[in-house]
Structure 1
Amino acid sequence: MRIALLYPPPWKIPAPGEPPDRGGDGPPAEYREGDLDPDFHQTPYGLFSLGAQAIRAGHQVKVLNLSSYPFSEVERVVRALDADVFGMSCWTANRRGVALTARCIRAIHPRAHIVVGGPHATPLAAEVLRHHPEVDTVTLGESELAFLELLDRLEAGLPATGIAGTAYRAGGRVELGPPRPAIEDLDALASPHDHFTTHIVMTSRGCPWACTFCGAETTWGRGFRGQSVPYVLDALEAAVARLPVKMVQIKDDTFTTNRKRVIEICQGIRERKISFLWSCDTRVDVLGDDLLREMRLAGCQRLSLGVESGSPAILKNIDKKITVKKIIESTELAKKYGIQVRYYMMLGNRGETAQTFRETLAFLEAARPHQYIFSCLSIYPGTRDFDDAAAAGWLDREVYFQGDFQELKTPFDASEEDTALMSAWFEQNKGLRELYREGVEERKAILARLGDHHAAHLELGIAHLDAGQLDLAERHVARALDLGVPVPGLAYNALACIAARRGDIQAMQDHFTTAARRDPQHPVLIRNVQAARAWFAKGGPGRGLPLDLVARCDFQLLERTAQPALPGPLPEDFAVWPPAGARPAPAPAREEGGREAAMPRGRLRVVPS
């Protein structure tokens, strides 16, 4: 069968020059460019997993990320896709786009079967089917086995009803199939990385904790299940081999839940010599000195921690089960080995007041993570917040089908005065904020703890560059390259910045060219390419104009570039179906803003990899 797995846009996005839809299908009135979290545009890992299972079962599969596409383009894509089954991933932020796309599919392909899953559809499965007659089936939570059974039924011409782990219509009524047990042996699943190019990797499912705002238990069930260490290492090896930039985001809910397992993964990465940098998400109470050192040596560059608040009262209210003391201790441990620490913070949780908010701001100054980012509490279906708000009578489930909001962002119980205070602060401080950066002495100490480590040399070299110590900077950056740093583009970018400081424009151009050829697509490199191109265009060398270049090696990925992981351009043959069982060809990575950046005499080019 032909299976099209789509990640739709959040609403009817207007085409360039086209006015927004005012009939209720367009963006919310209060929407501003940048309101969508950058992670929104990443294809959900579940779609890749469904695709991998379907390919192994002998089906023809396409995964398309349409999350930033104007709706007229979505319609063109749907019209061109002659699929038997259309599957979509539904989150709260794109629930309206899923409904619009389902309507479009049904109008163009009336005989196709439309199945929807995801963390928004799972707890609202009955409502999705009642409100959207175009949708045939909703898969609940962990969907691989239910999806495969659905495909078997459809291929055999049997009714797609009664399948465990699904919601469906029968006799004009919406019904739920029996519950489907969680998949105990995750190694039995086909790996997405054997078939798709994505910088996201998931090695486990579930979280043993139950924070009031989180819906992980609704999606995965209670508890933690992990893939075996060999399976994880095979997946990482396959993922890295396909990536143009050797950076991976491990997006488990709580990656370090099983410390022994993670240490074995890290040791396996080094034994197999899988060369890449990575980030992960976890909690402060499942970290330790030996674990963090192993993670750093295996390439861990950034640790994202769900901190949420610096107020002990709020941490207790949301059932976080961590302390402020533990947050600071774990932050210092990560810094000890040079791991960049990012805090995810929240405003508006249960019991939030102006006082608890001030405690949080004071806490940040004391803890000093490298970065932090705030979000306002969103009430997601499937969370304890959702259930308690509905029980209290101030939340009606129907609002998710009637409102045009992106996500239901609202303080749980803050006063109007405190809400106004927090809203005003958030408006001035939203987005990623930088708070801490190591200097030369800190970087020297980190290198001494890690030994002759490539990324630590690169970081020390950039610290020397920031301090104006160019010879030392060059020495450490060169050593990072000798040791095989996984991001040579950032090392050559640093060498270009050193050359520019020395006034050696020829060497700067050579290093930029090498960076672009060896390792394109780093945001900092592309930013410098554009700055240098503009500088040459203005006659910078002859007029003595300043050249603003940046040397950084933070964990950062370029967004919106290549299908199917991000909503880049589709290839011309996107609607041509591969033979059953064939692996999708990786799409070429592309520079944001154009295919090339040229400098005088053609010395600097950013080329597709």
Structure 2
Amino acid sequence: MKKVFLFNPPFGLYRRDNRCQNRVEDQTVNVIFPPMELLYCAAILEKEGRRVWVRDYPASHSRLNDLLADMKQIQPDFAIFTTTVATLESDLSVARYIKENQPHTIVAAKGEPLHRLDDDVIRNTPNLDIILRGEVESYISDFVSGKCWSELPGVTFRQDENVVRTAVSDEFLDLDSLPFPARHLIHNELYRSPETRNPLTTIITSLGCPHKCIYCSVPALTGVNVRFRNPESVVDELEECVHRFQIREFLFHADTFTLKKTWVIDLCQRILQRNLDIRWGCNSRVDTIDEERLQWMKKAGCWVVGFGVESGNNDHLERMKKRATAEQARDAIQLCRKNGVRSHTFFVFGFPWDTSQSIRELIQFAHELDPDFFDFNIAFPIPGTELDDLVTKQNLASRDRLKNGGYATGAVSTESLAAEELERWRRKALWSMYLRPHYIFRTLRNAGSPHIAMNYVRAAMNRVRNLLFSARKREFNSWDHTISN
């Protein structure tokens, strides 16, 4: 019986699934999510009788020695890990350690950067046998079964002295055909709500996005045609989480959860019919939310909605190909406030056209919106995106900084601002929002219980420490609490 070992390498606490591969501690909400892609692969393989192990070493604060000890004990036929842009170099070193100790094991890597960098990586990583691209769940079974690699869709490997790169399949996964993720293979207590400290998990409800924002990898990864799960299947999975795993807090993961109004309302009605008593959050575009949707979502347990607002400048939004407006962002936040659902907004700057003045205006717009939670991200050129092509053409990217990339670290310059200046502007933006007395009072008031309020205080202290330690000492001497300079 084939033995398969799926894992996240012990190098940095990042969100490794899909498009949001940011460092956990760089975000306002420090939450760790389970490795859903690995859990889906595990469920598929278990269903076919394979022996499977799943480890999330960053989440358990484990080290390389723990990984090697597990490898020695399991003696797997296949070792498959997920990587990110920021951790790529460290993650790939795992292949060497595995081969030194388990030379018979086939070592495979998957992850967002490998969709574009696969050729270079496979040529320069001799201990890595194969790269898995595309929707790995669609062919993981054939891969483990021993099917000829050249017949698999979306893989990259060496053959003699050549690199073979097969095309990704034009057919995307039918989400309803997948078994539920193999949550029994992980320690679910590692994943908790930062507010309540209750167990939390992710439910994938749809994949794909019809929009083509220049900084986003979704069109290349999951396509522009949105695939929704049957709402009944989603609720069945929720019920399994509640009764089998005692999990009642969820993030509904979708490239845009609220895209299809009838689907959202149908799902909410089914949640209510099952009396699940759950608490959940989701994401939305600012132009795919309305009062009826929000009212049903609130009734079904939704407490927070995340919005990719990005900018308050309509010309900048058009350049990003966002296909949304600042006015729609204002309406969305007001609707959430009216209906008792909290909002989490994401802003982004650091595009080639950004200046000190445009960033200052963005911060002022964030103050105007006054969301419940917020993040300011620095634009990062994910390999394969239009932004990546743009900054490469304009010679704005720093190779050294790209290796340490993330949404809090300036990996590129703009036409008028250095990467270091973008990092300073990000800190100014966050400080200016956090230190508003009415914001602090409202956040504690809305906590709803002393327990949650204390968790907010602890989170704030961690956030302050993170921001202080990331700033240079000379910046503190001249830092101004205002954004007028």
State whether TM-score is above 0.5.
Answer: yes
Contact 1:280 1:303 in 2 (8 A): yes
Q: 1:428-485 CA deviation, whole Å, 9 max, x = no partner?
A: 4548955776999xxxxxxxxxxxxxxxxxx9xx95xx9xxxxxxxxxxxxxxxxxxx
- Aligned partner of 2:66: which letter? E
Cα distance in 1, alignment partners of residues 178 and 111 from structure 2: 18
- Aligned partner of 1:363: which letter? F
Shift, 1:293, TM fit: 0.5
- Counterpart of 1:53 (choices 40, 44, 63) is 44
Shift, 1:186, TM fit: 1.4
Q: Which moved more, 1:283-292 or 1:62-71?
A: 62-71
The structure whose Rg is larger is 1
Cα distance in 2, alignment partners of residues 202 and 246 from structure 1: 15
- Unaligned stretches of 5+ residues in structure 2: 14-22, 189-199, 461-485
Q: 1:277-297 CA deviation, whole Å, 9 max, x = no partner?
A: 001112111111100100011
Equivalent position of 1:287 in the other structure = 289
Contact 1:314 1:356 in 2 (8 A): no
Matches within 5 A, 1:1-400: 1-10=2-11, 34-35=25-26, 41-67=32-58, 68-153=61-146, 159-192=148-181, 195=184, 197=188, 199-244=201-246, 246-395=248-397, 399=399
Cα distance in 2, alignment partners of residues 315 and 416 from structure 1: 19
Shift, 1:348, TM fit: 0.6
Equivalent position of 1:423 in the other structure = 423
Contact 2:304 2:342 in 1 (8 A): yes
Measured at CA, do residues 219 and 362 of structure 1 come closer, stay the same or move farther in structure 2, by a change above 3 Å? same
Equivalent position of 2:197 in the other structure = none
| Aligned-pair identity (%) | 22
Contact 2:391 2:412 in 1 (8 A): no
Cα distance in 1, alignment partners of residues 238 and 182 from structure 2: 8
Q: Which moved more, 1:273-282 or 1:116-125?
A: 116-125
- Give TM-score, length-normalised by structure 2: 0.80
Q: 1:354-385 CA deviation, whole Å, 9 max, x = no partner?
A: 22112212211221111211121111112111
Cα distance in 1, alignment partners of residues 432 and 344 from structure 2: 9
Contact 1:167 1:175 in 2 (8 A): yes
Cα distance in 2, alignment partners of residues 424 and 4 from structure 1: 41
> Once superposed, what is the RMSD of the aligned Cα atoms?
3.3
- Aligned partner of 2:229: which letter? Q
Contact 1:3 1:60 in 2 (8 A): yes
Matches within 5 A, 1:385-534: 385-395=387-397, 399=399, 404-407=403-406, 409-411=410-412, 413-416=414-417, 421-430=421-430, 434=434, 463=445, 494=449
Measured at CA, do residues 82 and 395 of structure 1 come closer, stay the same or move farther in structure 2, by a change above 3 Å? same
Q: 1:464-514 CA deviation, whole Å, 9 max, x = no partner?
A: xx9xxxxxxxxxxxxxxxxxxxxxxx97xx3xx5xxxxxxxxxxxxxxxxx
Measured at CA, do residues 296 and 33 of structure 1 come closer, stay the same or move farther in structure 2, by a change above 3 Å? closer
Q: 1:315-338 CA deviation, whole Å, 9 max, x = no partner?
A: 121111111110000111111111
Report SS of the residue matched to 1:387.
helix
Report SS of the residue matched to 1:275.
coil
Measured at CA, do residues 425 and 315 of structure 1 come closer, stay the same or move farther in structure 2, by a change above 3 Å? same
Contact 1:342 1:370 in 2 (8 A): yes
Measured at CA, do residues 164 and 378 of structure 1 come closer, stay the same or move farther in structure 2, by a change above 3 Å? same
- Aligned partner of 1:188: which letter? S
Contact 1:8 1:66 in 2 (8 A): yes
Cα distance in 2, alignment partners of residues 336 and 63 from structure 1: 43
Cα distance in 1, alignment partners of residues 402 and 251 from structure 2: 33
Measured at CA, do residues 524 and 114 of structure 1 come closer, stay the same or move farther in structure 2, by a change above 3 Å? farther
Cα distance in 2, alignment partners of residues 79 and 327 from structure 1: 53
Contact 2:138 2:173 in 1 (8 A): no
Cα distance in 1, alignment partners of residues 183 and 425 from structure 2: 45
Report SS of the residue matched to 1:88.
strand
Contact 2:279 2:302 in 1 (8 A): yes
Shift, 1:205, TM fit: 0.7
Equivalent position of 2:20 in the other structure = none
Equivalent position of 1:472 in the other structure = none
Equivalent position of 1:476 in the other structure = none
Shift, 1:413, TM fit: 2.5
Contact 2:28 2:373 in 1 (8 A): no
Measured at CA, do residues 206 and 128 of structure 1 come closer, stay the same or move farther in structure 2, by a change above 3 Å? same
Measured at CA, do residues 422 and 119 of structure 1 come closer, stay the same or move farther in structure 2, by a change above 3 Å? closer
- Aligned partner of 2:49: which letter? G
Cα distance in 2, alignment partners of residues 77 and 433 from structure 1: 44
- Give TM-score, length-normalised by structure 1: 0.65
Measured at CA, do residues 245 and 227 of structure 1 come closer, stay the same or move farther in structure 2, by a change above 3 Å? closer
Cα distance in 1, alignment partners of residues 28 and 364 from structure 2: 26
